[in-house]
């Protein structure tokens, strides 16, 4: 018989206890839910892919071979995690997908490739050309340049940013999982490049997406609500105050990760957390899961390894941030969306 986990449960089950001394929801919970259960106002950056991922057909070798040979196929080249675009310098970036003919030299470079899906019936492949010192000679003249997707996602048409992010994330994984994590033997691609199989022990390896939580902590005070934002050590040359964020650990729920990260980085106790929206973040391999969370304590003790400063801000502070000498996260970030949607929904 299994020992009781904790205490004396009459039914043999351990009684529920709230972690970190957090009080169970009280009658006021409903009101707080209204304050913090904030709907997403619009899609996040890197979402809205136009692709049909055809996951059921990736293992069909005849289907994949026909897609590869199709004159209608499109290729998304990635060079050392950079994406092919034009118009970046002018502030009007556009993704460049190469036709089968234009991609011939890139494909000859024999980097990893993967089927991303079908775009209005046309097969779309990601293809890596990182082995080339200079990738531009592989491209037809005038076909743009390789640039970092992170800097321009908010300016790209939504579907294009999503396809470039998909290609970047998948090829990043492919290049770093060439050998089996179980036995160390080389792996070979399967499922049109969307999986790897060990050539010795047959273990299958699938692309990783590491969950990270990102949260706007809100605390009700007599003077009105205050939100917790922090200046990170990762952005020392900016005046940006942003939401807290961190990776989910094994065996941890998303809500537990929200509470732990806020407590570790600022010493603030968090109660309930309400899901808002998510954003793919293939830099290199994450998905950001956005929450609004209820701050239960006020005193801040920062973790100096992570943060330079953390403060409670009022609505007026957020609206007048420029005059007050600090900046908010980029408009296309989920951090900014959490802040703006909360401001709007709780007006
Ligand atoms: Zn193996």
Q: What is the DSSP letter of 321?
A: H
124-128: average pLDDT: 97
Which among 134-143, 150-159, 254-263 has the top mean pLDDT? 254-263
pLDDT at 223: 93
Residue limits of CATH 3.90.79.10 in the chain:
209-345
Between the CA of 81 and the centroid of ligand 1 the distance, in Å, is 26
**Cα(51)–Cα(164) distance, integer angstroms:** 11
114-128: average pLDDT: 97
Between the CA of 196 and the centroid of ligand 1 the distance, in Å, is 10
Mean pLDDT for the chain?
90
pLDDT tens for 246-258 read 999 999 999 999 9
Between the CA of 100 and the centroid of ligand 1 the distance, in Å, is 34
CB 132 within 8 A of CB 84: no
Between the CA of 62 and the centroid of ligand 1 the distance, in Å, is 27
**Cα(204)–Cα(187) distance, integer angstroms:** 9
Between the CA of 170 and the centroid of ligand 1 the distance, in Å, is 20
Between the CA of 70 and the centroid of ligand 1 the distance, in Å, is 34
CATH code of the domain made up of 61-176: 3.90.79
DSSP E strand stretches across the chain: 74-79, 82-86, 94-95, 98-99, 113-119, 122-128, 145-147, 187-190, 195-198, 204-205, 210-221, 224-232, 244-247, 270-281, 286-295, 307-313
pLDDT at 142: 84
| Least confident stretch, 8-12, 167-171, 263-267, 333-337 | 8-12
pLDDT at 33: 65
Q: Which two tokens stand for residue 172?
A: 């990043």
Between the CA of 68 and the centroid of ligand 1 the distance, in Å, is 28
Q: What band does 50 get if pLDDT is binned at 50, 70 and 90?
A: very high
The residue with greater pLDDT, 191 or 106, is: 191
Q: Is 52 helix (H, G, I), strand (E, B) or coil?
A: strand
Is the per-residue pLDDT at 320 higher than 70? Answer: yes
φ, ψ at 204 (rounded to 5°): -90, 140
DSSP E strand stretches across 25-93: 74-79, 82-86
pLDDT at 9: 38
| Least confident stretch, 61-75, 131-145, 247-261 | 131-145
Block residue for tokens 């005059």: 323
Between the CA of 183 and the centroid of ligand 1 the distance, in Å, is 4
Between the CA of 210 and the centroid of ligand 1 the distance, in Å, is 22
Q: Let me know the angle formed at the C-alpha of 235 by 234 and 236, rounded to the nearest 5 degrees.
A: 100
Is residue 122 left, alpha or beta, with left meaning phi > 0 and alpha meaning psi from -120 to 50? beta
Distances (CA, A) of 283 to 167, 249, 288: 12, 18, 11
Between the CA of 173 and the centroid of ligand 1 the distance, in Å, is 17
Between the CA of 203 and the centroid of ligand 1 the distance, in Å, is 6
| Residues near 34 by beta carbon (within 8 Å), at least 6 away in sequence | none
Between the CA of 172 and the centroid of ligand 1 the distance, in Å, is 20
pLDDT at 55: 96
Between the CA of 189 and the centroid of ligand 1 the distance, in Å, is 13
Counting residues of the chain whose pLDDT is more than 70, the rounded percentage is 90
pLDDT tens for 193-204 read 999 999 999 999
**Cα(2)–Cα(164) distance, integer angstroms:** 50
Q: What band does 158 get if pLDDT is binned at 50, 70 and 90?
A: confident
Between the CA of 204 and the centroid of ligand 1 the distance, in Å, is 8
CB 203 within 8 A of CB 180: yes
pLDDT at 347: 78
pLDDT tens for 322-343 read 999 999 999 889 999 999 999 9
* Strands 210-221, 286-295: pairing kind: parallel
Between the CA of 113 and the centroid of ligand 1 the distance, in Å, is 21
267-289: average pLDDT: 96
Between the CA of 190 and the centroid of ligand 1 the distance, in Å, is 14
pLDDT tens for 6-27 read 433 344 444 455 445 455 455 5
Q: What is the DSSP letter of 179?
A: B
Q: Which two tokens stand for residue 32?
A: 């707080």
The fold of the 209-345 domain, in CATH, is Nucleoside Triphosphate Pyrophosphohydrolase (3.90.79)
Closest CA to 259 of 15, 19, 17: 19
CB 288 within 8 A of CB 278: yes
CB 272 within 8 A of CB 22: no
Between the CA of 180 and the centroid of ligand 1 the distance, in Å, is 5
Q: Which two tokens stand for residue 251?
A: 């065996």
φ, ψ at 329 (rounded to 5°): -60, 160
Between the CA of 205 and the centroid of ligand 1 the distance, in Å, is 10
CA 265 to chain centre: 20
128-156: average pLDDT: 90
């Amino acid at each position: 018989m299994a020992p009781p986990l904790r205490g004396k449960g009459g039914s043999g089950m351990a009684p529920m206890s709230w972690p970190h001394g957090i009080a169970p929801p009280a009658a006021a919970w409903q009101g707080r839910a209204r304050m913090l259960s904030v709907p997403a106002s619009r899609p996040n950056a890197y979402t809205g892919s136009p692709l049909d991922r055809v996951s059921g057909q990736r293992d069909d070798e005849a289907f994949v071979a026909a897609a590869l040979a199709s004159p209608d196929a499109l290729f998304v080249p990635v060079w050392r995690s950079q994406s092919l675009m034009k118009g970046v310098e002018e502030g009007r970036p556009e993704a460049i997908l190469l036709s089968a003919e234009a991609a011939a030299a890139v494909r000859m470079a024999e980097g990893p490739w993967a089927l991303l899906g079908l775009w209005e019936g046309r097969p779309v492949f990601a293809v890596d050309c990182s082995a080339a010192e200079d990738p531009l000679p592989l491209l037809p003249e005038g076909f743009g340049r390789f640039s970092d997707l992170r800097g321009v996602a908010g300016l790209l048409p939504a579907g294009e940013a999503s396809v470039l992010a998909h290609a970047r994330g998948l090829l990043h994984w492919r290049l770093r999982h060439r050998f089996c994590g179980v036995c160390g033997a080389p792996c070979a691609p399967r499922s049109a490049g969307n999986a790897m199989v060990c050539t010795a022990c047959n273990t299958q390896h699938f692309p990783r997406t590491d969950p990270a939580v990102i949260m706007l902590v809100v605390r009700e005070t007599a003077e009105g609500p205050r939100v917790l934002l922090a200046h990170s050590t990762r952005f020392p040359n900016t005046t940006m105050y942003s939401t807290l964020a961190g990776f989910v650990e094994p065996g941890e729920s998303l809500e537990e990760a929200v509470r732990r990260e806020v407590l570790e980085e600022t010493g603030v106790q968090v109660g309930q957390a309400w899901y808002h929206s998510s954003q793919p973040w293939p830099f290199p391999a994450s998905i950001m899961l956005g929450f609004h969370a209820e701050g239960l304590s006020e005193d801040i003790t920062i973790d100096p390894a992570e943060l330079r400063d953390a403060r409670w801000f009022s609505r007026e502070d957020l609206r007048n941030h420029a005059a007050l000498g600090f900046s908010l996260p980029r408009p296309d970030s989920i951090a900014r969306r959490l802040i703006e949607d909360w401001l709007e929904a709780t007006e």
